[in-house]
Amino acid sequence: MSTFPITKRGAELLKAELHQLKTVERPAVIQAIAEARAQGDLSENADYDAAKDRQAFVEGRIQEIEGKLSVAQVIDPSSLHADGRVVFGATVELEDDETGERVKYQIVGEDEADLKLGLINISSPIARALIGKEEGDTAVVHAPGGERTYEIVAVHYV
């Protein structure tokens, strides 16, 4: 498995989720299985089946997060020195050439992307169009909804 980029904040969120799964979710599932077993016949016990399904999900998610963290390349955007270029972790202020609307996005890894929070996936069409550009440049985004043009107003590393 190759490395994948993630911001420092994204890595901390994954570590917090892992801690929650191991210290809260896993013990709760074990308790639910024990209680279902105490009810007797397991062949027709819906509580037991549900608890086993939940256990499989929790254990699978734990393995997934541990795997991701083991190959993650953690990048702290505040320590970047990219001379004003748009790079992974940068926060970019854009102005839509057509509407004049201004938006602000931070380019992040796939696990931490959330458009409502202004966090866009590095592999999204807009992020791919922005990478390598500088303040004052124009980026043409080829998105499923059509082509859009943005001017890069500012680039921050926070």
With beta carbons less than 8 A apart as the criterion, state whether 112 and 128 touch.
Answer: no
pLDDT tens, 53-107? 999 999 999 999 999 999 999 999 888 878 889 999 999 999 999 899 999 999 9
CATH of domain 4-75: 1.10.287.180
Domain ranges of the chain: 4-75, 77-156
With beta carbons less than 8 A apart as the criterion, state whether 147 and 139 touch.
Answer: no
From 3.30.360.10, 3.40.50.300, 3.10.50.30, 3.55.40.10, which CATH number describes the 77-156 domain? 3.10.50.30
Helix, strand and coil content of the chain, in percent to the nearest 5, comes to 45, 30, 30
The whole-model pTM stands at 0.81
